[in-house]
Amino acid sequence: MDPAVIAALVSAPTAVLAAAAAYAAGKAQGRASLDAVRRQAQRDAYAQFLEAAYDFSRLSSWRSCVARAERELTESGTSPDTERIHRRAAELRIGVSIGTLHLTNIVVTLEGPAHLVAVAGEVVRRAHAVHDDAAVIGTGSTEELTQMNLDAFESREADTRVIRAMAIFSRVARRHLNGEAPLRDPWAAERSLTDADGGVSPLLQTFLGRSAR
């Protein structure tokens, strides 16, 4: 057989293997680049969602709304009696928009994964509960407002539940971005959190870059 033919036959498998190896390496590199882009998109989506949740929590907090209501009534020359303050605070509280939180939640839903989407959905549901709480205060009778003992609390339970859900979303998102396995029961962590904002602010700082206080 012609030596040139023999050489071609011998080198052909080697060339095929080399081409296959190069293809596999290129494909792996492309997948890694795609994964990096996807991970950055997820990180941005989670950060924007937490930013929106933080803003809603800060603006709608009962303590903040009461302070704003008292200031408004005082500056307008209206007697800032307790019931008037609380009713105005309820109006301010229910007036805080959830729109941005909904929009950023849509992006989280698109980016996934499913277990993170579920926690984000709970954050949104708890934000709506803040509005429901405000509606109860705003429509309550004088006697009902007295029974609520609104002056005894710096924050309402609805406020605390939003903050806790934000902290849990932060934990779950961080684990996902770090490539760690999902928590079997992410809400079990809620029982270990304190009612105070300061108890969860380090978790929020991871994504927001500032204290939640």
Q: Where are any strands of DSSP class E within the chain?
A: none
| Cα–Cα distance list, 37 to 34, 43, 131, 176, 193 (Å) | 5, 10, 37, 15, 33
15 band by pLDDT with thresholds 50, 70 and 90: low
pTM (predicted TM-score)? 0.74
Q: In the structure, what pLDDT confidence band is assigned to residue 200 with cuts at 50, 70 and 90?
A: very low
Provide the residue ranges of all domains of the chain, joining segments of one domain with +. Answer: 3-208
- Residue 199 has what pLDDT? 44
pLDDT digits (tens, 9 = 90+) for 90-127: 999 999 999 999 999 999 999 989 999 999 999 999 99
Average pLDDT of the residues in 191-200? 50
Let me know: does 88 contact 69? Beta carbons within 8 Å: yes
Phi, psi of 86 (to 5 degrees): -65, -35
Angle at 175 between CA 179 and CA 51, to 5 degrees: 125
